[in-house]
Amino acid sequence: MPKESFLLDQFSALPPREVGLAVLGYPIKHSISPQLHNAALKVLAEKEPEFNNWKYHKIEVHPENLSDALPKLAELGFRGLNLTIPHKVEVLPMLSSMDEQARAMGAVNTLNWEEGGWKGYNTDGIGLSRSVREVFDRSVKEFQVLVLGAGGAARAAVAQCLFEGCENLAIFNRSMERAYQLSSALKENGFEQKISLVKSLSHFPHNAEQPVLVINATSLGLVMDDPAPIDLSCLKGEVFVYDMVYNPPDTRLLMQAKEKRFPHANGLGMLVGQAARSLEIWSEREVSIHAMSCAALQAMSD
pLDDT tens-digit profile of 273-301? 999 999 999 999 999 999 999 999 999 88
Cross-sheet strand order for the sheet of 19-25 = 54-60, 19-25, 78-83, 110-114, 117-121, 97-98
Residue 3 has pLDDT above 50, yes or no: no
Residues 118, 42, 133, 27, CA torsion sign: negative
CATH number at residue 249: 3.40.50.720
Residue 6 has pLDDT above 50, yes or no: no
pLDDT tens-digit profile of 50-59? 999 999 999 9
More confident residue, 13 or 178: 178
Name the percent of the chain lying above pLDDT 90.
67
Q: Are 60 and 9 in contact (CB under 8 A)?
A: no
pLDDT score, position 29: 85
Confidence class for position 24, pLDDT limits 50, 70, 90: very high
Same structural domain for residues 57 and 172?
A: no
Single-letter residue type at 31: S
Least Cα distance to 246 among 268, 262, 272, 226 occurs for 268
Same structural domain for residues 169 and 129?
A: yes
Same structural domain for residues 194 and 230?
A: yes
Same structural domain for residues 279 and 194?
A: no
pLDDT score, position 40: 98
Q: Which residues have a catalytic role annotated?
A: 88
Residue 225 has pLDDT above 90, yes or no: no
Single-letter residue type at 202: S
Same structural domain for residues 206 and 219?
A: yes
Q: Are 288 and 263 in contact (CB under 8 A)?
A: no
SS (H, E, C) the chain: CCCCHHHHCCCCCCCCCCEEEEEEECCCCCCCHHHHHHHHHHHHHHHCHHHHHEEEEEEECCHHHHHHHHHHHHHHCEEEEEECCCCCCCCHHHCCEECHHHHHHCCCCEEEEECCEEEEECCHHHHHHHHHHHHHCCCHHHCEEEEECCCHHHHHHHHHHHHCCCCCEEEECCCHHHHHHHHHHHHHCCCCCCEEEECCHHHCCCCCCCCEEEEECCCCCCCCCCCCCCCHHHCCCCEEEEECCCCCCCCHHHHHHHHCCCCEECCHHHHHHHHHHHHHHHHCCCCCHHHHHHHHHHHHHC
Same structural domain for residues 257 and 288?
A: no
CATH number at residue 100: 3.40.50.10860
pLDDT score, position 44: 98
More confident residue, 224 or 126: 126
Same structural domain for residues 231 and 295?
A: no
Residue 1 has pLDDT above 70, yes or no: no
Same structural domain for residues 255 and 130?
A: yes
pLDDT tens-digit profile of 205-217? 777 789 999 999 9
pLDDT tens-digit profile of 162-189? 999 998 999 999 889 999 999 998 888 7
Same structural domain for residues 291 and 274?
A: yes
Same structural domain for residues 112 and 130?
A: no
Q: What does pLDDT average to over the chain? A: 90
pLDDT score, position 288: 95
Q: Which domain holds residue 162?
A: 125-266
Mean pLDDT of 120-136: 94
Same structural domain for residues 226 and 274?
A: no
Strands 264-265 and 239-243 come out as parallel
Same structural domain for residues 247 and 140?
A: yes
Residue 8 has pLDDT above 60, yes or no: no
pLDDT score, position 300: 85
pLDDT score, position 7: 52
User: Which of 1-5, 12-16, 63-67, 84-88 is predicted most confidently?
Assistant: 63-67
Confidence class for position 100, pLDDT limits 50, 70, 90: confident
Residue 10 has pLDDT above 90, yes or no: no
Residue 27 preceded by cis peptide, ω within 30 = yes
Number of domains in the chain: 2
- Distance CA(153)–CA(137), nearest Å, equals 22
Q: Are 227 and 220 in contact (CB under 8 A)?
A: yes
